[in-house]
Structure 1
Amino acid sequence: MTLLEVRNLKVTYPGGAAAVREVDLRLKAGQTLGIAGESGCGKSTLALALLRLLPAGTDVRGEILLDGEDVLGMRWGRLRAVRWAGASIVFQGAMHSLNPVHRVGDQIAEPILLHGGASTDAARTRAGELLEQVGLPAARASAYPHELSGGQRQRVMIAMALACAPRLIIADEPTTALDVMVQAQILRLIRRLVTEQDLALIMISHDLAVLADTCDRLAVMYAGRVVEQGPAREVYEDARHPYARALSEAFPRIGDPASRFAPRGLPGDPPDPAALPPGCTFHPRCPVALPVCATQDQPLREAGPGHRAACVRVGTPAAEAAEPTGSAGTAENAGSTP
């Protein structure tokens, strides 16, 4: 059964910045979806839009169906309940999300008190159980955020997200600024919780390798739009859109000396959302652009079972045989990594 369905979602900030453009996503209960892209591609905006956490004045259009109910049409009271009991979010940067003057146990207990109707003692007991569930001693509930390491604070954020037993967890860069050992621990924890509690997970990251190891499916965003989506491992290893391929090749592969000593990437940055180029928004940076790319944007085309990519070269043999005419250079000689 479909738990979350996003239909033709468009998000425009005051001033005309089109941060999310015509995004369609589906997520079933127990399924994990990764969303990847450079900074400025609309990943976090999409996550915040799912629970209506965007600033006042932001224009949000389309449909966000959570268990068949449109989040964008919910009254405030219903939305307030859904944000914890139906879906919750693990924000990027735990130190900025936790209150520095309250003990972490009280912060985990707060949504339980507000949404679960539990007594204070029961909420505190539940907070200790949640801490143990994410690999921390229940005694750490008495600690303040500054007394915990970065990895421990991130575990507290995950415990807080689980407080009201939601069916959907949105994790926005949950391993940012963590060292590789702690990152691996957090990712193992997330995978275990998804399996044990049959959660649906949306995980946002710039690292395709992390998403390929953690998620069932993967969507790659560029300039506010999904340009490729499909089975996570397939998108990572055989990306069909030039941008998704560049993201994948920007990270060294274990056992592949060529990628370690000469990682590939792309020059430049994503376009300004308030001044998007005509045609395919990626064509100014694309190493294999065709003339048509400068004038016509491309829809998502079938690239295999459950795999789609928004590129003229996908599913058109004549285009795939054509010589590239892009001015951005090839992926091999591009200078910077996304």
Structure 2
Amino acid sequence: MSLLELKNLQVTYGSGARAVPAVRGVDLTLAAGQKLGIAGESGCGKSTLALALLRLLPASAQLSGEILLDGEDILSMRWGRLRAVRWAGASIVFQGAMHSLNAVHRIGDQIAEPILLHQKATPAVARKKVGELLQQVGLPVARADAYPHELSGGQRQRVMIAMALACAPRLIVADEPTTALDVMIQAQILRLIEQLVAEQDISLLMISHDLAVLADTCDRLAVMYAGRIVEEGPARTVYDSAQHPYGRALSDAFPRIGDIGSRRAPRGLPGDPPDPAALPTGCTFHPRCPVALDICTDADPELVSAGDTHQAACVHVGAAVEKQL
């Protein structure tokens, strides 16, 4: 059985005529021990999806579908059960560590809080566990007495990872965990996450706008646009041979080492993702698509096979499959 399974997950903000769809019918599966990346530009629904997994969205958000964690639906859980699942079953590493940490509490106390709450540990046992967690993420035990402002950006992100690991969850959701860091520290944090996930047999769902980072870190990769998954498959396959025009545009936006042409003239994509409150008819990507056809304005295509365990939602992919048949 899959550790995490999303079935027709939909998230809207507001209600009635003013309802704004942020996530539109997402289906995803994450196996135990697997690393799944979700890529897309800002405004495509990635963070809304991440927050929906543990029902951390504001009261204005309406959720439907299913979010199955170990076969148990997060959306139908009572508050007490949901509170127990957070941290102990699944935890989240947010992108802004300074905004997530409490500025007036020492980091050791903040890491200890979920241990005391969920594992009913004594203060002495919690302090010992905090020291072990800090060492796991490459920080001296003495930093437990520091306040968040006394740490660098990379150190604060390591603290967030230590907090996420505090109650030994089976799933970690990392939402843009390295966005605010410089390149060298970003590489260190990514290697740290990979190492800890492998050592502790944790499943990872990582969200980023950087396709190259996800391709290097994850087993599988899903590309999200305008609240939907438009491509999904093995990470290197999607990065190297994306079949959806949006997936190709994201991949081409990053220069490749050794490719002089891409370094001198990286290809971008004009325009921005559509406003969720005013989605275009048909394929939501067609106003920006360089290979759009007239039929692209008729309906939003569903995911179809683009190869072994690889899917893409594009009429060009569907036409290619029909020709092969």
Query: Does TM, scored on the shorter chain, surpass 0.5?
Result: yes
Matches of residues 54-133 of structure 1 in structure 2 within 5 Å? 54-133=57-136
Q: 1:104 touches 1:144 (CA, 8 Å); kept in 2?
A: yes
CA change 1:142–1:239 in 2 (3 A) is same
Unmatched 5+ stretches in structure 1: 321-338
Structure 1 runs of 4+ with >3 Å offset = 317-320
Shift of 1:61: 0.4
Corresponding position of 2:7: 7
Corresponding position of 1:191: 194
TM-score (ref. length: structure 1):
0.93
Shift of 1:57: 2.4
Q: 2:95 touches 2:180 (CA, 8 Å); kept in 1?
A: no
Q: 1:219 touches 1:228 (CA, 8 Å); kept in 2?
A: yes
Name the CA distance, whole Å, in 1 between partners of 2:20 and 2:274: 11
Q: 1:89 touches 1:172 (CA, 8 Å); kept in 2?
A: yes
Q: Secondary structure at the match of 2:212?
A: helix
Unmatched 5+ stretches in structure 2: none
Name the CA distance, whole Å, in 2 between partners of 1:179 and 1:186: 11
Q: 2:239 touches 2:251 (CA, 8 Å); kept in 1?
A: yes
Q: 2:278 aligns with which of 271, 275, 282?
A: 275
Matches of residues 132-147 of structure 1 in structure 2 within 5 Å? 132-147=135-150
CA change 1:80–1:318 in 2 (3 A) is closer
Shift of 1:125: 1.1
Corresponding position of 1:179: 182
Describe the superposition over 1:142-171 as per-residue Cα deviations: whole angstroms up to 9, x where unpaired. Answer: 010000000000000000000000000000
Describe the superposition over 1:233-257 as per-residue Cα deviations: whole angstroms up to 9, x where unpaired. Answer: 0000000000010000001111111
Name the CA distance, whole Å, in 2 between partners of 1:163 and 1:236: 33
Higher helix share: 2
Name the CA distance, whole Å, in 2 between partners of 1:96 and 1:257: 39
Name the CA distance, whole Å, in 2 between partners of 1:20 and 1:296: 17
Q: 2:2 touches 2:32 (CA, 8 Å); kept in 1?
A: yes
Q: Secondary structure at the match of 2:166?
A: coil
Matches of residues 1-338 of structure 1 in structure 2 within 5 Å? 1-14=1-14, 15-317=18-320
Name the CA distance, whole Å, in 2 between partners of 1:96 and 1:83: 19
2:7 aligned partner, one-letter code: R
1:310 aligned partner, one-letter code: A
Identity over aligned residues, as a percent? Answer: 77
TM-score (ref. length: structure 2):
0.97
CA change 1:109–1:261 in 2 (3 A) is same
Equivalenced residue count is 320
Q: 1:34 touches 1:204 (CA, 8 Å); kept in 2?
A: yes
2:31 aligned partner, one-letter code: K
Shift of 1:177: 1.3
2:319 aligned partner, one-letter code: T
Name the CA distance, whole Å, in 1 between partners of 2:319 and 2:254: 29
Name the CA distance, whole Å, in 1 between partners of 2:26 and 2:223: 11
Shift of 1:318: 9.2
Shift of 1:319: 9.2
Name the CA distance, whole Å, in 2 between partners of 1:57 and 1:281: 24
Name the CA distance, whole Å, in 2 between partners of 1:191 and 1:51: 22
CA change 1:144–1:302 in 2 (3 A) is same
